[in-house]
Amino acid sequence: MRLRIIWLIQSFKTALIMDKKLKLIGKSTPKLDGSERVSGRAVYGHDIELPNMLHGMILRSRYPSARIKSIDCSEALELDGVECIITANDVDVNRISYKRDHPVLKGETVNCQRDELAAVAATSRETARKALRLIKVDYEVMEGIFDPFEALKEDARQINLYGKGAESFGNKNIAESFTYSHGNLEEQKKNSRVIVSRRYRLPRVTHCCLATSNITADYSVLDGRLTLYASTQVPFLYQRDMAHALKMDPSRIRIIQPTIGGGFGSKLDMYPFEPICALLSMKTGKPVQLLYDREEEFIASPTRQTMVIDLTTGADAEGKFTFREVRIIMDNGAYTSWGATTPFVMMQTYSSLYQVPACHFRADAIYTNNPFAGSFRGYGNPQATFSVERNIDLMAEELGIGKDEIRLINANYPGEITGQGLHFKTCGAKPALMKVLETSDYERKNREKQNGRYRRGVGLASMLHVGGGAKIYRSDGCGTRLKLDHYGYLTIVTGSSEIGQGSETVLAMIASEELGIPLQQIRVINTDTDIKPWDVGVHASRTSFVAGNSLLGAIRLLKDKLNLKAARLMECETGDFLYEAGSIRADQKEIKIDKVVREMHFGSPNELCVAEYFYEPPSSFQDKQYMGDVSGNYAFASQVAEVEVDTYTGKVKVLNVYVSQDVGRVLNPVGLQGQIEGGLAIGIGYALTEEMIYEKGVLQNPSFHEYKLLTPVDMPDIHFYPIETLDEAGPYGSKGAGEAPLIPSAAAIANAVSDALGVEFQSLPLTPENVLRAWSEKRQHEPANSRKV
Amino acid sequence: MNFNTESPATREELLQCLRRHQSADFRLAAGGTDLLIELKKSGPEDLTLINLGRLEDEEFTGITIHPAEIRIGALVTAARIHKDPYIHEHFPVLHQAARSLASAQIREVATIGGNVCQASPSGDLSCALAALNATCEIIDMDGKIRHETLSGFFRGPGKTSLLKSEVLKGISIPVNQDETLMSGFIKIGKRLAMECSIVSIGYHFQMNATGTVIQAGIAIGAVAPTVVFCTRAAAFVTGKKVNDLTEEEQLQVAGLIRQAASPIDDLRASAWYRSEVLFNSARSIFEKA
Ligand SMILES: Cc1cc2nc3c(=O)[nH]c(=O)nc-3n(C[C@H](O)[C@H](O)[C@H](O)COP(=O)(O)OP(=O)(O)OC[C@H]3O[C@@H](n4cnc5c(N)ncnc54)[C@H](O)[C@@H]3O)c2cc1C
């Protein structure tokens, strides 16, 4: 009975959303900032030039592990044009990172290749570079620890002197640890017909933002205010972190975000170069700009978390999943950044992607002398999904049931409350699965096997990700301020940030839809912490969801004012009027919206046409056991990858990717397509070619020449089918969509390559060499007479 | 990186420029796609770049067809080679190598002379030219010309027989004796563009009316200190009907090609991989589709 009522309410709300005829939402709209970006008019951090600006540069460690005996800057300071050099001894700062284990400048030891020893401010980049070469550092080199399993050993030395591993987690080199469980594992093991255990190794990759890391700091000695032109995707958290680092009052720090040339999670944390640049400006009293070149970007910007995953999973005789048991060791690198918290997202996948009666999860982030990992689009989920979906294929093979069937049997469903407490009020998991199976002709392609040089295969994988923000800070909310002027132009001041994902455009579309104002008359202001209201930042695929809802709230308030005034002017009863083509319409009457505003401003009683609203998603905090409904809604997706493997070279060609994703509602089709294609480019690179190659903590391939980011010609045909479940929590029923497209890609591709060759893969990337090696090994084990050359 | 640039416009200016700088530190620059990367790394001070890009001299910048050979000026770009109809028809191996080089943007500036003088074992144009038995035409600061086969010209990774007083003027390729061709360029890499060869094979077989090979050229790249001309494999194929090799013969040629290589492990691939793929790709040349 209760279920039925809920269902009724839900379908009623859905009907409401569905009923409304939408004019602009759902129609492809080019990005507002698109023409600025492609014409070169956009102002990136690199384009900023301030009067008397100096150029900053950082001296990094020559060794990944050493004691610093001395740093001598005297010769460098004598160089013409050098205005300031700072080392750890010259500054009074707090350690940074959420674990406070990261000194901004290193004075005692260096723990990874990135480590900052000194920074120069000079009148030109050339001079700054020369000065770096003149700084003499005396090191006492130590043997580094580059393998997390070595770091865990009793006799290993403590890598990060500020780590609290010994007290908190029982081992000095554990930086962070997460444990989660639900269900009765032992009982479920007994219920299992098959149990599959595998160890997966996931590589270190990086974001490759087209714009390298950059910051311009402008400190005024007159009023003690610090203005930072910074490419952050979380301006308010950044302001707080910066204030903590510099021991300053946060509100004295103003963050201005120039056009951001790629974020993908890399700008979710504050890194040492940023307070360093601020310090240089504070010491010199002049603006200082610090830009990475591409090599420095590879060496010193964050990476995805590399990890070893031991996964054991079971299924009963019918193919129903019984349990998942996971143990993960993450290479945290020398310091802690958000990468260490990826287990928070991974555990959702292990506990709740498909129906899982029991789950036990433990993940530890281990300090090593490698570079530290940050957050990266997908936030651990590509790694987790890879392991889960590989194991599912193996279980299906052992049980002798279809890889499609086993997934359909276990698919998530609407109304499900998972073991972890995630509540799937709407759920497109099964529709997405069925869609990709049908459109890809999966069953036929899965049956067909080739014998020649080229072998085709298909692989299937699904994913689950938050779709309505993620409550991990005290507020997961977003503020909006609206101003409608007396010419009918609307200014949206939103707390949220645009980092290329297109949310700015979606906000303008929503306002245009609701207020009947053309897009050309709408401006979005979102780049200045002195002006914009609070927002957590761009992460968890949340911006269109949270900022969209916040905007809708503000529009409702603005309309209340407008309706009242319009009714008076049209001499009719106030009501929910129609806003269309610059006018407000009642039954027979109509009035121009700008006229209404003029009457508000200049008529009596004079009032402004402004409104503000704060939206906080209905999600809840998880408890200490990580139980709880952490997001406003959840996104589901499936992908089928079709590959052709060249058995002569090991090269994998992805022919087609079929993507179906529960996005709730498509807001801007062309923007969504961009997210899907861009996501796949990252996902396919993760699957096939991208890898940061380290030798004893030193990056061997810090260039686009040797780090194999894929190019446009490497992209397959992409077939995208959105699923619209019209979730009541999202604006017009929508869900977050930004991270999902890359999450299942590597899993689907690895499954496809396994399908093509009959070879198992437990690590990425599937480079031609790795594939050819696996293939050769398989053929060596085959009886000679069954071998066909 | 700090340097002065001189941009001679005529051959005489170029030779003068060379003479003037003999006792100083200078480098020749054509497209600069290899050179600038190198200079960025080494960060030289007080270097002079003699920029060949402004040179207006047909013998450096043109493609000309003569009765016995075709001459390609050292400054001809990869894009121009890729688009040239004569090369497309008569030297598919070179056409394909040019197409596979880097990206459209880089092909517009990267020159054939730069590719050869860089003497990279993975130089794609160099590999194709070796398969075509090309010859280098070299001019010195006094205007004297000398010719040298490509295999003589390459002396090691990044090393050529060029003296400080010399410039590469052009490359000549003997015209085909017969126009029944089996010619192509195989490039193995991890991605389809902006890729440095992990293994490459250039092959160019000229056949008579009966399909018998009368001239064979096979060269391999990225598997030895220099591009290697596979003399024994070419000799093996000559006189045979290349379209009708038995499976055993196919494996034999592939084996000979593999033997010409001395691959190493590096960041891009292991020696094992290079050797395997070289063998497999060599075999694939002779397999019927
Ligand atoms: C992103 C990228 C991708 C690349 N991909 C490929 C690829 O796929 N395949 C490939 O083969 N190469 C590739 N390269 C390398 C390079 O583009 C080629 O080798 C190109 O042909 C070099 O020509 P250039 O005119 O730019 O030479 P430059 O850089 O100008 O010169 C190279 C060297 O030759 C010398 N030199 C040039 N011209 C002469 C001359 N006439 N006489 C004497 N010395 C001379 C210079 O002094 C220098 O030492 C790539 C380079 C980049 C940056």
For residues B131-157, average pLDDT: 97
Statement: residue A18 has pLDDT above 80: no
Q: How far apart, in Å, are the Cα atoms of A618 and each of A112, A177, A262, A496, B204?
A: 42, 28, 30, 18, 69
Statement: residue A594 has pLDDT above 80: yes
pLDDT band at B289 (very low <50, low <70, confident <90, very high): low
The two structure tokens encoding residue A467: 């779709």
Confidence at residue A50, expressed as pLDDT on a 0 to 100 scale: 98
Confidence at residue A13, expressed as pLDDT on a 0 to 100 scale: 46
Same fold, B58-174 and B180-288: no
Rounded Cα gap, residues A252 and B241, in angstroms: 82
Interface of A with B (CB under 8 A): 126, 453, 648-651, 688-689, 693, 700-701, 704-706, 708, 710-714, 767-769, 772-773, 776, 789
The 3-state DSSP composition of chain B as helix, strand, coil percent (nearest 5) reads 40, 25, 35
Confidence at residue A15, expressed as pLDDT on a 0 to 100 scale: 45
Rounded Cα gap, residues A321 and B48, in angstroms: 70
At A694-712, the pLDDT tens digits run 999 999 999 999 999 999 9
Locate the chain B residue with the closest alpha carbon to A700. B267
For residues A212-219, average pLDDT: 98
Which of A66, A141, A78, A143 has its CA nearest to residue A107? A66
pLDDT band at A787 (very low <50, low <70, confident <90, very high): very low
At A472-497, the pLDDT tens digits run 888 899 999 999 999 999 999 999 99
pLDDT band at A540 (very low <50, low <70, confident <90, very high): confident
Statement: residue A606 has pLDDT above 80: yes
At A611-651, the pLDDT tens digits run 999 999 988 888 999 999 999 999 999 999 999 999 999 99
Determine how many CB atoms are found less than 10 A away from the CB of residue A614.
16
Mean pLDDT over the full length of chain B: 96
* Fold (topology level) of B180-288: Enolase-like; domain 1 (3.30.390)
For residues A230-257, average pLDDT: 97
For chain A, list the domains and their CATH numbers.
Answer: 1-30+426-460+633-789 (3.30.365.10), 45-142+207-300 (3.90.1170.50), 148-206+302-410 (3.30.365.10), 477-615 (3.30.365.10)
Confidence at residue B44, expressed as pLDDT on a 0 to 100 scale: 84
Of the candidates B190, B277, B283, the beta carbon closest to that of A767 is on B190
Return all residues near A782 (Cβ < 8 A) that are at least 6 apart: none
Statement: residue A11 has pLDDT above 70: no
* Residue whose CA is at the smallest distance from ligand 1 atom 9: B101
Statement: residue A784 has pLDDT above 60: no
pLDDT band at A255 (very low <50, low <70, confident <90, very high): very high
Q: In this structure, are residues A297 and A213 in contact, taking their beta carbons and an 8 Å threshold?
A: yes
Instruction: Write out chain A residues lying below 8 Å of B280, CB-based.
Output: 648-649
Which DSSP symbol is given to A697?
T
Interface of B with A (CB under 8 A): 2, 103, 188, 190-194, 196, 198, 247, 267-270, 272-273, 276-277, 280-281, 283-284, 287
Q: Is the CB of B34 under 6 A from ligand 1?
A: yes
For residues A310-321, average pLDDT: 98
Report how far ligand 1's centroid is from the alpha carbon of B224 (Å). Answer: 19
Confidence at residue A8, expressed as pLDDT on a 0 to 100 scale: 40
pLDDT band at A783 (very low <50, low <70, confident <90, very high): low
Rounded Cα gap, residues A450 and A128, in angstroms: 60
Confidence at residue A634, expressed as pLDDT on a 0 to 100 scale: 97
Confidence at residue A619, expressed as pLDDT on a 0 to 100 scale: 86
Which DSSP symbol is given to A213?
P
- Where are the alpha helices (H) located in A370-502, listed in sequence order? 381-399, 403-410, 429-439, 442-447
Locate the chain A residue with the closest alpha carbon to B200. A649
Q: Do B283 and A693 touch (CB under 8 A)?
A: no
Confidence at residue A19, expressed as pLDDT on a 0 to 100 scale: 53
Q: In this structure, are residues A371 and A334 in contact, taking their beta carbons and an 8 Å threshold?
A: yes
Which of A233, A241, A314, A310 has its CA nearest to residue A274? A241
Statement: residue B207 has pLDDT above 60: yes
With a threshold of 0.85, tell me whether the complex ipTM lies above it.
yes
Confidence at residue B195, expressed as pLDDT on a 0 to 100 scale: 93
Helix (H) or strand (E) holding B65: strand B63-65
Atom of ligand 1 nearest to the CA of B168: 42
Report how far ligand 1's centroid is from the alpha carbon of A761 (Å). Answer: 38
Could you give the count of Cα atoms lying within 13 Å of A216 in the half-sphere of its Cβ? 18
Q: Do A648 and B273 touch (CB under 8 A)?
A: no
At B188-204, the pLDDT tens digits run 999 999 999 999 999 99
Rounded Cα gap, residues A17 and A27, in angstroms: 16
pTM over 0.90? The answer is yes
Q: In this structure, are residues A674 and A700 in contact, taking their beta carbons and an 8 Å threshold?
A: no
At A142-188, the pLDDT tens digits run 999 999 999 999 999 999 999 999 999 999 999 999 999 999 999 99
Mean pLDDT over the full length of chain A: 95
Rounded Cα gap, residues A507 and A546, in angstroms: 11
Rounded Cα gap, residues A551 and B8, in angstroms: 63
* Fold (topology level) of B58-174: 3.30.465
Return all residues near A660 (Cβ < 8 A) that are at least 6 apart: A431, A432, A433, A435, A436, A439, A637, A638, A639, A720, A721, A722, A723
Statement: residue A6 has pLDDT above 80: no
Percent of the residues in chain A that have a pLDDT greater than 90, as a whole number = 93
For residues A529-537, average pLDDT: 95
Q: Do A776 and B276 touch (CB under 8 A)?
A: yes
What are the residue boundaries of the structural domains of chain B, listed by start?
A: 2-51, 58-174, 180-288
* Residue whose CA is at the smallest distance from ligand 1 atom 25: B31
At A32-63, the pLDDT tens digits run 999 999 999 999 999 999 999 999 999 999 99
Helix (H) or strand (E) holding A675: helix A669-688
Helix A543-570 with A503-515: angle, nearest 10 deg: 20
The two structure tokens encoding residue B7: 């941009």
Q: Is the CB of B39 under 6 A from ligand 1?
A: no
Confidence at residue B51, expressed as pLDDT on a 0 to 100 scale: 97
Locate the chain B residue with the closest alpha carbon to A713. B192
